[in-house]
Amino acid sequence: MTDPIDIVIYHNPACGTSRNTLAMIRNAGIEPHVVEYLKTPPSPRLLEQLVARMGIPLRALVREKGTPYEELGLGDPALTDGQILDAMMQHPILINRPIVVSPLGVKLCRPSEVVLEILPQEQKGAFAKEDGQIVVDASGRRV
């Protein structure tokens, strides 16, 4: 028997990219911890840690589409990371998704197949995204 693999996905079930990412994790035979971050957002400290582990600037994690990004003036380069983080805490929809945490790293999985880079197990079979795009062939290899 193998030890369980601890994978966390910060997920929005209304997002196709997030659903595809979750499905690829499951296609590897892993049942992740699913955090619906709009209902249970990460703390400011945890979000800062995730960003640091991804090796990206905080601004790279801010979602613009379908959010109050423009109304809040978040494109202003004079805003500090603290101000951006405060906005993300007040409006979790501003946190881009899905974020996946695995033993092999942390990634913002956009596009969804980025998750394949940090899964510790191979895909168990073919996988096609919701739009029909084939990502993994029948032998479990990335296309």
Q: Considering 7, 11, 12, 15, which one is annotated as catalytic?
A: 15
Which residues 6+ apart lie within 8 Å of 36 measured at CB? 11, 12, 13
Q: Which fold has domain 8-136?
A: Glutaredoxin (3.40.30)
Question: Residue 15 catalytic?
Answer: yes
Domain boundaries, the chain: 8-136
pTM strictly above 0.85: yes
Could you report the per-residue pLDDT of 86-138, keeping only the tens digit for each?
999 999 999 999 999 999 999 999 999 999 999 999 999 999 999 999 999 99
**Residue with tokens 């983080």, as numbered in its chain:** 85
Could you report the per-residue pLDDT of 35-87, keeping only the tens digit for each?
999 999 999 999 999 999 999 999 999 999 999 999 999 999 999 999 999 99
